[in-house]
C-alpha cells in the first residue's frame, strides 16, 4: 500500500508539472493574409498571431529568413509589422524569389520561448510545412526544411514540439 501511495504521489506531481508547462504555453501561429484586410493592405505574404496564456501579445517577436542561393547560405533579418489587433502581425516578402527559404520566428516573454519555422520557395509560402516548438529554433529543423523535407523536431528527443 505504501508503494502504491508513493507511486500515486509521483504520478500526480508529474501530471501537475506537465499541465503547468502547457498551460503557460506561448505559440507563434502562421496564418493566411487573405483572411485579413489590414494584412492585405501591408502586402503581407503571411500573418502571425501570438497565442497562449498570460498575455501572449506582450511577447517580443523576431523573424529571420534563412536561404540557400547558388550553394551559399544567406540570412535576412525580417521586419514584422504589428497590426491593430494586439498580438497579430503581417509579414511582407523581404527575401529574394530565387532559392529555397525558411522563415524562422521566435517569441520570448517572461521566461517562455517558442519558435515557428515556415518553408518558402518559388511557389510561395508553404504554411503547411510550419513547425512549432516550445524551444529556440534548432539548426537541424531549419536544415531539413531548407532541403525541402519535413522539419523533424530535434529538441529534447521530440518533446515540446507541435506538428
Domain assignment present for residue 20? The answer is no
Domain assignment present for residue 1? The answer is no
Domain assignment present for residue 2? The answer is no
Looking at the structure of the chain, the number of domains it has is 1
Pick from 51, 44, 78, 85: nearest CA to 62: 78
Asked whether 30 and 36 are in contact (CB, 8 A), the reply is: no
Residue range 108-115: average pLDDT?
92
The verdict on pTM exceeding 0.85 is no
Q: For position 102, what pLDDT does the model report?
A: 97
Domain assignment present for residue 106? The answer is yes
Range of the domain at 110: 25-162
CA distance 59 to 52: 10
How many Cβ atoms sit within 10 Å of the Cβ of residue 158?
A: 11
Domain assignment present for residue 141? The answer is yes
CATH code at position 133? 2.60.40
pLDDT digits (tens, 9 = 90+) for 13-54: 344 334 444 456 899 999 999 999 999 999 999 999 999 988
Domain assignment present for residue 118? The answer is yes
Domain assignment present for residue 127? The answer is yes
pLDDT confidence tier of residue 131, bands split at 50, 70 and 90: very high
Q: For position 10, what pLDDT does the model report?
A: 39
Q: What is the CA radius of gyration of the chain?
A: 18
Of 102 and 157, the structure prediction assigns the larger pLDDT to 102
Amino acid at each position: 500500500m505504501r508503494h502504491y501511495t508513493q507511486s500515486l504521489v509521483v504520478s500526480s506531481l508529474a501530471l501537475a508539472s506537465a499541465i503547468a508547462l502547457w498551460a503557460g504555453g506561448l505559440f507563434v501561429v502562421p496564418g493566411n493574409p487573405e483572411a485579413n484586410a489590414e494584412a492585405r493592405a501591408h502586402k503581407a505574404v503571411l500573418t502571425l498571431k501570438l497565442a497562449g496564456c498570460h498575455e501572449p501579445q506582450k511577447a517580443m517577436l523576431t523573424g529571420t529568413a534563412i536561404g540557400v542561393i547558388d550553394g551559399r547560405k544567406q540570412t535576412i533579418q525580417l521586419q514584422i509589422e504589428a497590426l491593430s489587433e494586439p498580438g497579430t502581425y503581417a509579414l511582407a516578402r523581404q527575401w529574394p524569389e530565387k532559392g529555397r527559404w525558411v522563415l524562422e520566428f521566435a517569441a520570448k516573454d517572461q521566461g517562455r520561448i517558442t519558435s515557428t519555422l515556415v518553408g518558402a520557395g518559388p511557389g510561395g509560402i508553404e504554411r503547411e510545412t510550419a513547425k512549432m516548438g516550445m524551444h529556440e529554433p534548432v539548426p537541424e529543423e531549419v536544415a531539413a526544411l531548407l532541403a525541402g523535407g519535413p522539419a523533424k523536431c530535434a529538441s529534447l528527443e521530440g518533446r515540446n514540439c507541435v506538428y
